[in-house]
Chains A and B, each alone.
Chain A
Amino acid sequence: MSVCLVVDDSRVVRKVARRILEELGFVCEEAEDGQLAYEFCSKNMPDAILLDWNMPVMSGIEFLEKLRSMPSGQSPKVVFCTTENDMAHIQRAITAGANEYIMKPFDTEIIKSKFIQIGLIED
């Protein structure tokens, strides 16, 4: 089973995301900020990461930049999932190595459609 790490400082968002991801067949792990996500990845590289932007300690974009320079940090598919919804943020995320980008609010339909596009799940 594929593992998806949900990185978000909101417990509510993590809970909602977990429910959707488990429905889609993922084993779900959670981290509250970029630093904790980084520590998780150094031990166990997940298959997918759903990543918030604004978080205390370490932001999503900082985490992504660090992740992509880790030894096997190229392998997880990273999907941003944030309230930042302008082109500048999207471009910055994709340039830093994000595979997809979700603008909050999200629902099952959106997560599913984005995960299908980057080949994380079958249609």
Chain B
Amino acid sequence: MKVADFELYKSLLYDKSGLVITPDKSYLLDSRLTPIAKKWNYPTLDMMTLQLRAIPDPKLVKDIVEAMTTNETSFFRDTKPFTLFQETILPHMIQTRANKKSVRIWCAACSSGQEPYSLAMILKDKEAQLKGWRFEIVATDLSEEILAQAKKGIYSQFEVQRGLPIQYLMKHFTQVGETWALKDDIKSMIKFSTFNLLEDMSRMGTFDIIFCRNVLIYFDEKTKGGILARMDKQLTSDGFLLLGGAETVLGITDKFVPMPDKRGLYIKNPALQPSAPPPTSSGGFTSGLFKRT
């Protein structure tokens, strides 16, 4: 790809999705955009680039941006965050939200849905214990194409064997030919919608738990900082943020601090809270759940 063309795609992707693409990844542009050129009936990728430069069709731009996202994910990815959710965060929420009995969860880059569905299955299995509680799981992604897949809740044999315990497969899926379909009671627990993390987040409302995993890695520090600062506003003062294994807030924002000994789990920076120090009677970290062990 010509340098000028690379620069065109580079700035387009950065503006539309935050994705930072370096020259050594320019082969990715060729391999992922050639099928888009074909889909749009351009004889070559160069012809598509020319059109894009002259009069960019928003639908074409959208296709290009979506084609360049990495949708790699799996059920219970990395295990730990889901154990934390089940064994640490949930019991804590049950104490701190005892009056409201409602919890809002946001999966902020949900890809093909495995992350929110993993949470839904955990909650479903605790149904008896959570009687009277309302859990809302909002799952969003930039890519309409991947969201359409997520909504279907149909997975290949390979996908249901990565991270998904067999008991969950037996309980929550039905076999449809060579594929496995999630049952409706799990699917109905998730609200899917498109959302670009670069946008203003206020319309999303506030959440008690935000999963924002394995998406910040694609962005530069400025974009990461902006997203985390906006997320801070959408998270309740005693809420939790979960990032991916290769992501951190350190050196990027002071809005959040990592929980000691709980990898990937972050809370709002207590030093920035209006009512610091944190409450002692109604939960907070003094309830003993987060004591170092």
Contacts and interface: CB of A to CB of B under 8 A. Distances in A.
A86 to B, nearest CB: 6
A103 B163 CA distance: 14
A102 B161 contact: yes
A65 interface: no
Given A102-B161, A110-B161, A116 B79 contact: yes
B169 interface: yes
A105 to B, nearest CB: 9
A114 B161 contact: yes
A110 B75 CA distance: 12
B162 A109 contact: yes
Interface stretch (A3-11, A20-28, A41-49, A87-95): A87-95
* Interface footprint category on B: 10 to 19
Given A123-B79, A123-B80, A87 B170 contact: yes
B78 interface: yes
A117 B157 CA distance: 17
A19 to B, nearest CB: 19
Interface string A91-109: 1001000001111001001
A52 B80 CA distance: 30
Nearest to A101: B166
B91 to A, nearest CB: 22
B175 interface: yes
B169 A117 contact: no
A100 B167 CA distance: 8
Nearest to A118: B165
Given A85-B157, A123-B78, A110 B170 contact: no
Given A90-B170, A91-B170, A103 B175 contact: no
A113 B162 contact: yes
B157 A94 contact: no
Contacts of B169: 90
A100 B74 CA distance: 18
Interface string B32-72: 00000000000000000000000000000000000000000
A110 B156 CA distance: 13
B161 A87 contact: no
A113 B170 contact: no
A100 B163 contact: no
Contacts of B158: 110
6 contacts: A102-B161, A106-B161, A110-B158, A110-B162, A113-B161, A114-B161
Closest 8 A/B residue pairs (Cβ): A101-B166, A110-B161, A117-B165, A113-B163, A113-B162, A100-B166, A87-B175, A103-B157
Given A100-B165, A102-B161, 15 more contacts: A85-B157, A86-B175, A87-B170, A90-B166, A90-B169, A90-B170, A94-B170, A101-B166, A103-B157, A110-B161, A113-B74, A113-B161, A113-B163, A117-B79, A117-B165
Interface of A: 85-87, 90-91, 94, 100-103, 106, 109-110, 113-114, 116-117, 123
